[in-house]
Structure 1
Amino acid sequence: MIQTNGTLLNRAWAKVLLKHQVRVGVSMDGPEELHNTYRVDHKGQGSYENVVRGLNVLREENVPFGILSVIQLGADPLVIHHHFLSLGCKSISYILPDFTHDTILPIRERYGPTPCADFLIPIFDDWWFNGTLEVRIRDFWNVARLIMGGDSLTDSLGNNPFHFIFVETDGKIEGLDVLRVCSEGMTNTTLNVQYADFRDIAQVSALHTRAIFTGMPLPEACSSCPERDTCSGGYLPHRYSKQRGFDNSSIWCADLLRLFAHIRSRMGVSIEETQLRRQVLREKALNLI
């Protein structure tokens, strides 16, 4: 899997990616005007046309690809979603914006208490009533999997150890790169692939050991939540505050609870049924039934 802004994709790259069976994620924000507002080149020019050109190459060369899009708070979700569908995309991920408890207040004041749910629920209903399983919206697929008792397949829900690291282009080894939104230098390890083993990251700090290998504790605020075993506190960076570290529920807690409740309603699966399903699956895994 490779994540790219898509601007330099061409047929030569497509052939290499296809040969090595690399799936491509392309970052995109929506239709041209919206995309070009946030994604410009070094000359200040919008990148939309180059991204679409890259997507067309991937599709014509049969390279599997998906679009990763950060939720545009306050924008029309169906305009954005239908635009991605019009580009021939069969896999879409909508990402909750990266803020912390120390930076979220102005966002809530501007967009209200559940702006992410306001964005995602209309897309879910459009997919539920009008779409097909040929189009996989990764976030909804993962929530549905959790509701049915399964484990999370993404690092944004479930509070599982990451079991992955990041390697920068200069060889630097880091933990979860998005933790940079929490504080400057949090992801630094002083390790480099030129002289270090990936396992050495476990010796850098307790945070790296827990986040990557053993798992983070469930936030205290989530201990009595009915979705404690599904959402499990939300995405690690979204739990951070200078005062309590990562011992907070997600800044998007209200959005996640509303989204889970909506999808549960559509699927007809209660929290109690989820718990029973999870118990059965765990017993099967242990060969107890």
Structure 2
Amino acid sequence: MRPGEPAFPFRQFIVKMHGRCNLACRYCYLYEGPDHGWRTRPAATPPAVLEHTARRIGEHARTHGSTALSLVLHGGEPLLAGAGTLARFTDRVRHLAPDGCTVHATVQTNATLLTERRLAVLARHGIRVGISLDGGLPEHNTLRTDRAGRPSWPAATRGARLIAAHHPRAYAGILTVVDPATDPVELYESLLALRPPALDLLLPHGNWTSPPLRWAAGATPYGDWLCAVFDRWWGAGRRETRVRLFEECLALLLGLPAATESLGLAPFDAVVVETDGSIEQVDSLKSCYAGAAETGLDVFRHGFDEALGHPGIAARQAGAAALAADCRACPLLTVCGGGHYAHRYRAGQGFANPSVYCADLQRFIRHVAGRLAGAAAGPAASEGGAP
């Protein structure tokens, strides 16, 4: 977004349905990170907050003539609010959305609370289910325990298999955070066993002030891990599942429009409503410092258009103009897009830096580009991989 241009409207509304979690994952940036704002907010989102949120979403969609929007029911663990609450709120948003506007609803859950009855309610109300897991084997999930220290894996895998077997149309996919200590191909294949229609592979939230684990300047452990999984996915001979990061990277390399928080220069279009009604930027910013996601706005007194004017959101809609000089001069700019916004943070300098994963992203993007070029040149070349 250039100076004087209108802001790009929000298309993704992330609503905190419950501010607590039934797990105590030891690496969680939300509950174990520098921002402890969750402690002073309501656990369950009050009905008045949900009603005002639904009205504000409808208002924003009408103002901007939206034909589709994404409603993400989030937490904490959103199923702690009850499947019925999620269904009623989703119905309310759809009722208040303008005619001709499709509301795509998803709940993001750790899957431990999924039951046949709850899944039936969600499916009946058109709410798809995204599952967060560290991998498809018990040993991949040793850090995901409940508050008594008991493993969450048995309940999580039961939930994942339940939706795959009985409600596949409601299955949105699995979200996994990359851990270079794991075997990449083993982890990928373990997730395939849970039959997800899509996978999201995310880099863990780190920055220049608080680097991710196993990070060293110039090294590429995360990029190497992604390249290994890409080669397994690319070489399967058929699409076993969608991998959003891979598909978006390929699209951007081909000059096609694509949008993800981790790649590309598409305008940022997501906003969060907390359990007390606060309008915030996305949670990933809370991994940087306390208050990083705050806007000072709330659904009782402000519309979402006012959030579009917040300096943090405006910066994320400014495209290349908001990036560091090194990023603007980089030949990978249109594909990388500077990487995830939260990963650019450095205390005292803000976010106008390359991603802490700059070397990893270059390694991954160049590898994918090499495979794509090889495929274009012919089968023999594509088998050789990327330089």
TM-score with structure 1 setting the length: 0.85
* Structure 1 residues 189-221: Cα deviation after superposition (integer angstroms, max 9, x where no partner): 233323332222235x4113332x554612211
- The equivalent of 2:190 in structure 1 is 83
Partner in structure 2 of residue 172 of structure 1: 278
Which residue of the other structure, out of 220, 240, 246, is the alignment partner of 1:114? 220
| 1:33-182 equivalences in 2 (<5 Å) | 33-35=139-141, 37-59=142-164, 60-62=166-168, 63-104=170-211, 107-109=214-216, 113-182=219-288
Deviation at 1:131, TM superposition (A): 5.0
Shift of 1:157: 1.1
Distance 1:103 1:134 in 2: 36
Select between 150-159 and 38-47 the one with higher mean Cα deviation: 150-159
Counterpart position of 1:19: 124
Q: Any runs of at least 4 consecutive aligned residues in structure 1 with deviations exceeding 6 A, and if so which?
A: none
Distance in 2 (CA, whole Å) between partners of 1:106 and 1:159 is: 27
Which whole-Å CA distance do the structure 2 matches of 1:125 and 1:202 have between them? Answer: 39
1:250 aligns with: 355
> Which has the bigger relative contact order, CA under 8 A and spacing at least 6?
2
Q: Distance in 2 between matches of 1:233 and 1:112?
A: 16
Q: CA deviation at 1:108?
A: 2.2
* Count of aligned pairs: 266
1:264-283 correspondence runs (5 A): 264-268=369-373
Q: What CA RMSD, in Å, does the superposition of the two structures yield over aligned residues? A: 2.1
Q: CA deviation at 1:234?
A: 0.7
Equivalent pair of 2:184/2:226 in contact (CA under 8 Å): yes
Kindly state the Cα deviation for residue 23 of structure 1 after the two structures are TM-superposed: 2.4
In structure 1, C-alpha distance between the alignment counterparts of 2:125 and 2:268, rounded to whole Å: 24
Give the Cα separation in 1 of the matches to 2:260 and 2:167: 28
Match of 1:278 in 2: none
Given residue 40 of structure 1, which amino acid in structure 2 is its aligned partner?
A: T
Q: Percent identity?
A: 35
User: What TM-score, normalized to structure 2?
Assistant: 0.65
Shift of 1:138: 0.9
Gaps spanning 5+ residues in structure 2: where? Answer: 1-105, 376-387
The 1-side partners of 2:125 and 2:318 are apart by 31
Find the aligned partners of 1:128 and 1:220 in 2 and give their Cα distance. Answer: 33
Structure 1 residues 131 and 238, CA, compared in 2 at 3 Å: closer, same or farther?
farther
In 2: Cα distance, 1:255 partner to 1:44 partner: 33
Structure 1: which amino acid aligns with 2:108? Q
**Does 1:185 find its partner at 2:291?**
yes
List alignment gaps of at least 5 residues for structure 1. Answer: 271-289
Structure 1 residues 43 and 112, CA gap change in structure 2 (3 angstroms) = farther
How far 1:12 sits from its partner (Å)?
2.3
Q: CA deviation at 1:134?
A: 4.2
SS at match of 1:56: helix
Deviations 1:163-182 (A, max 9, x none): 12011233222112110111
